[in-house]
A and B are shown apart, each in its own frame.
Chain A
């Protein structure tokens, strides 16, 4: 079943999306990133933002995708709770749904500075499920 998890990093935090498709693993990784900041269930999905990225390979594409979301969160003061990702080779087209940050309600723990190449992995497991993960700098 598609899900996200956090993994250990001493100073920062790792986000991992797991799903039966690569696109869905990317969506879950993004949701895991929201969970670094706040409880995703506390975020409404009233605003839709289109995202497009292209990269030389799928690892860099994962970082580009997360960094595009970080940029939109920072400049529009948004938090996201729902994602729809379509992949065509190393090109990504997506929509992210969220709402404006309300510090009192969302209690944002920390601001994410960027997605790093530390523990960066995008791969299909022997059980055919995909994982998409990296450490984000907070």
Chain B
């Protein structure tokens, strides 16, 4: 079931082949701009348009509320939503605009191996990874963080994890913010959020989170592929997960606090789910402090999982060398410099289900990647392709340097679990050469590849809209599903 337009919801007008606009009207302060093909727009739930138009009503929003080609109905902001706010113009920060899974993201690792190296050992490698990396509801890691260590982790992110022996110092340069989000305040994170995280470090979680071993099947842009250190036939590892229970609890608590205090801040919410607070307010600042700690939690988590994946590979393929290609976060609010009408401004950019895509030459990038642009890592869904793209200079003007983050669901979980059986999905994928390990058959059915949109269409639209350029296509070989 999809929601189709009622009179209340504006229809987007086509502005270019891959660009659509809902012009500002009524209380909208700016237009909403959606990047998509005609087919993707046609299939988009009208709730996306309603939510994007609602975001355009928030105080201090700059330029436009954006939706990426994979946009779908979220809570408050659409998933695949991007919006930037100017704190000095009454701009707000929204817990719903970041999402419950703060800094959920994708990290991709080189292995130094080609497809032939893993052909005979796929099952054993899958077992080793499944044994080493805790996945699924109720799973716990071996690390128990007491209060002081928890605070150090929340301040230090992946940098903390490397100091604890999880990985190498060299890893850090290939992570956004060099592995450590500054401005995090563990004191702004509640004891409940910390309690929820106590034994969840180094765990994948569940739902659409996974660890995949992948093979590069196609290179679209050899020069950039060279800069990223990849070529056809290479085996890579991708990890998709976030800040686990800590991020979820921060999101839960601040969503309520922002709803309860909206009136005090003179904010009229078109919908409660748009809960937000002025950036220059006690609640706004506290959320940013806590959310940044949540980002560090996610970065530390992916760093620990990297360490576990390295150990799992060592047992089966000791010659493998797992080094970072890059680590992106797609649920964040970050303070960034952007040029608006020729003027450089500091803006708080919300990306909810959207990937940063700085163009070539951006100073935030490590030197070895600076000429190529920000790697944009797009996850697939067990049986479908993943993609590696690179950021563009055009994206700076078009979307505050943002691109899509994945395929996005086409079918609800309930519909998927009615349509497929987990065992059958696993057998069908085995026929295609994909080995699955998961603690839950129902979870596999709900995450069946057919329940997702066509990731290739989403990537093509991002490429054609100029948000990011296609570099490589990958196919899954092993998937550890949470």
Chain A interface residues toward B at CB < 8 A: 6, 8-13, 36-38, 55-56, 59-60, 63-64, 67, 70-71, 74-75, 77, 101, 103-104, 107-111, 113-118, 120, 135, 137-138
> Which listed segment binds A: B21-29, B60-68, B254-262, B301-309?
B254-262
Q: With A63-B256, A110-B206, A111-B207 as given contacts, are A103 and B412 in contact (CB-CB < 8 Å)?
A: no
Q: With A6-B414, A13-B412, A101-B138 as given contacts, are A110 and B446 in contact (CB-CB < 8 Å)?
A: yes
**Contact, CB under 8 Å: A11 / B417:** no
A-B contact pairs, 12 of them (CB 8 A): A10-B45, A10-B409, A70-B252, A71-B192, A74-B248, A108-B206, A109-B445, A113-B101, A117-B96, A117-B259, A117-B272, A137-B248
B427 → chain A, closest Cβ, in Å? 17
Q: Within 8 Å of chain A (Cβ to Cβ): is B443?
A: yes
Which residues on B sit within 8 Å (CB–CB) of A101? 137-138
Closest-by-CB residue of B relative to A138 is: B207
Q: Within 8 Å of chain A (Cβ to Cβ): is B195?
A: yes
Kindly identify, within residues 187 to 209 of chain B, every residue whose CB is under 8 Å from any CB belonging to chain A.
Answer: 192, 195-196, 198, 205-207
Q: Within 8 Å of chain A (Cβ to Cβ): is B86?
A: no
Which residues on B sit within 8 Å (CB–CB) of A6? 414
Closest-by-CB residue of B relative to A66 is: B252
The one of A38, A59, A64, A109 in contact with B413, judged by C-beta atoms closer than 8 angstroms, is: A109
Most chain B CB within 10 A, of A38, A108, A111, A138, is at A111
Chain B interface residues toward A at CB < 8 A: 1-2, 45, 47, 72-76, 79, 96, 99-101, 136-140, 192, 195-196, 198, 205-207, 245, 248-249, 251-252, 255-256, 259-260, 271-273, 275, 408-410, 412-414, 417, 439-443, 445-446, 482
**Contact, CB under 8 Å: B137 / A103:** yes
Which residues on B sit within 8 Å (CB–CB) of A36? 413
Cα–Cα, bound, A115→B75 (Å): 10
Which residues on A sit within 8 Å (CB–CB) of B271? 117
Cα–Cα, bound, A114→B245 (Å): 10
Cα–Cα, bound, A6→B251 (Å): 23
Q: With A75-B196, A108-B206, A114-B100 as given contacts, are A135 and B75 in contact (CB-CB < 8 Å)?
A: yes
Cα–Cα, bound, A135→B260 (Å): 19
**Contact, CB under 8 Å: B100 / A111:** no
**Contact, CB under 8 Å: A114 / B248:** yes
Which residues on A sit within 8 Å (CB–CB) of B275? 117
The one of A10, A56, A110, A114 in contact with B73, judged by C-beta atoms closer than 8 angstroms, is: A10
Most chain B CB within 10 A, of A11, A38, A60, is at A11
Most chain B CB within 10 A, of A38, A56, A103, A135, is at A103
Which residues on B sit within 8 Å (CB–CB) of A118? 74-76, 273
Which residues on B sit within 8 Å (CB–CB) of A120? 272-273
**Contact, CB under 8 Å: A117 / B75:** yes
The one of B45, B74, B251 in contact with A113, judged by C-beta atoms closer than 8 angstroms, is: B251
B271 → chain A, closest Cβ, in Å? 8
Which residues on A sit within 8 Å (CB–CB) of B446? 109-110
**Contact, CB under 8 Å: A67 / B137:** no
Which residues on A sit within 8 Å (CB–CB) of B45? 10
A18 → chain B, closest Cβ, in Å? 17
**Contact, CB under 8 Å: B413 / A13:** yes
Which residues on B sit within 8 Å (CB–CB) of A11? 72-74, 79, 408-409
> Closest 7 CB pairs between A and B?
A101-B138, A108-B137, A118-B75, A109-B442, A113-B248, A116-B75, A117-B273
**Contact, CB under 8 Å: B195 / A75:** yes
A137 → chain B, closest Cβ, in Å? 5
**Contact, CB under 8 Å: B1 / A8:** yes
